[in-house]
Amino acid sequence: MAKIPLLLPLSVLLLSLLSLSTAEIKSLTITADSRPMILFEKFGFTHTGHVNISVSSVSVASSSAAPNPNPSRLGFFLLSEESLLQVLVEIQQNPNFCVLDSHYILRLFNFRELSPPPHSRFEQSYPVTAPNEYSLFFTNCVPETQVSMNVKTEVYNLDRDGSRDYLSAGLTQLPSLFFFFSVLYIGFFGIWIYICLTNKRSVHRIHLVMGILLIMKALNLICAAEDKHYVKVTGTPHGWDVLFYIFQFIRVVLLFTVIVLIGTGWSFLKPFLQEREKKVLMIVIPLQVLANVASVVIGETGPFIKDWVTWNQVFLLVDIICCCAIIFPIVWSIRSLRETSKTDGKAARNLAKLTLFRQFYIVVIGYLYFTRIVVFALKTIAAYKYQWVSNAAEELASLAFYIVIFYMFRPLETNEYFVLDEEEEEAAEQALRDEEFEL
């Protein structure tokens, strides 16, 4: 039982790092699992919340040290975050304490209530009348035992008309939110097409890639909206989750690729990539493939799997590496432009390029900081009823990032991006001498 004090805080911490599970109807299989605590769901309940649990094919394998395990020491319960600290104190005061004996949990049932072998099973629905965010746990307080069982969970709130809402109280607004942003991106794409057609002679290959990125982002949001809608209404995504992961994979890879290509000045400053810039792309793209695989595992399996912690760590590590990798090409371009400005005699044009790339660097850093740090903080501090706010903040930040970047690098027939009046050449030279543009 000494593992329990470490496992409970770890589960809560990892849940705070990720978006909450949608709590759709799930059928899970536990095989020879000896963990003292298994986390199944985290869900925000209203005063009309319900938990349906069905277990079947239950078997408990014991070692010689515990040939006849007490079935009342194995069972399911709900635990709120407010009560977590109280339970931890109880465990620390008594290492042999079983969580099922705590006064701070909402006990559902234990294995004593199972039907007799060989068809050991149990099914029950429980109302949750105290609105709060609860985590659904299974605990095994019998050392050296392994549990195997099939578990089906349905966690939902009832709407005013009596229909079931399988989305957490803080996430039920997500279908409308994602659909709204998908419409904005479709409109954004239309404007981008108009700008490109109006300035045909200044359109480069990078602008076509940027247009494809907008379409992928819109399709990703449409699939996310449909996914959440069907989960909300029926408890299952009806295949929309597959499309969501496909478009998310394409969109994320395209986004990082566009940032790297713009950062290197590809297409509109130079028609080729240097060897080191190609290496960055060769690093970023495979890492994004790995990150999306980790995302699928996290999203489709949930915290009950044994390797859930490992996949979370993989996802976090890969995301950090990718964010660092895409910064290098921008820094290289700024340094290269700075060196060029000392020799080619085009001070005004070089100053414009340096200014734009430094602005691009600042925007990318701001975007990565906001979506990785600020959004995480919102998920952590927001009340469970307002978890959708972190999603809205992330989408707003992404839309603002897209608008700024697309505006900065839009095609213009008049100036090929960088024009300063020739009369300002002398002032530009002075600015280049005074400003080192070091990061």
Same domain, 74 and 215: no
Same domain, 129 and 181: no
Same domain, 42 and 75: yes
- Pick the last residue of a domain from 119, 140, 165: 165
Cβ neighbours around 236 below 10 Å, total: 14
Same domain, 61 and 133: yes
For 288, 290, 308, the CA distances from 314, given in Å and listed in that order, are 11, 8, 10
Same domain, 274 and 383: yes
Q: Determine, yes or no, domain membership for 135.
A: yes
Same domain, 130 and 238: no
Q: In the structure encoding, which two tokens stand for residue 311, read together?
A: 């996949």
Q: Determine, yes or no, domain membership for 439.
A: no
pLDDT in tens, 374-417: 998 898 888 899 999 999 999 999 999 999 999 999 987 654 44
Distance from first CA to last CA of the chain, Å, rounded?
51
Expressed as residue numbers, the domain containing 332 is 174-434
- Pick the last residue of a domain from 125, 143, 165: 165
Q: In the structure encoding, which two tokens stand for residue 356, read together?
A: 């734009």
DSSP 372: I
Q: In the structure encoding, which two tokens stand for residue 254, read together?
A: 């395209």
pLDDT in tens, 55-114: 999 998 886 666 678 889 999 999 998 888 888 888 888 878 899 999 999 999 999 999
- Pick the last residue of a domain from 142, 165, 188: 165
Rounded to whole angstroms, how far apart are CA atoms 398 and 357?
19
Same domain, 160 and 184: no
Q: Determine, yes or no, domain membership for 191.
A: yes
Rounded to whole angstroms, how far apart are CA atoms 18 and 23?
14
| CATH number of residue 235's parent domain | 1.20.1070
Same domain, 299 and 425: yes
Same domain, 83 and 210: no
Same domain, 122 and 265: no
pLDDT in tens, 120-136: 899 999 999 899 999 99
Cα torsion at 371, 374, 378, 381 (round to 10°)? 150
CB 118 within 8 A of CB 129: no
Same domain, 75 and 23: yes
Number of domains the chain contains: 2
Find where tokens 């903080």 sit.
Answer: 377
**pLDDT averaged over every residue in the chain:** 83
Record the pTM. 0.83
Same domain, 300 and 329: yes
Q: Determine, yes or no, domain membership for 181.
A: yes
pLDDT at 174: 95
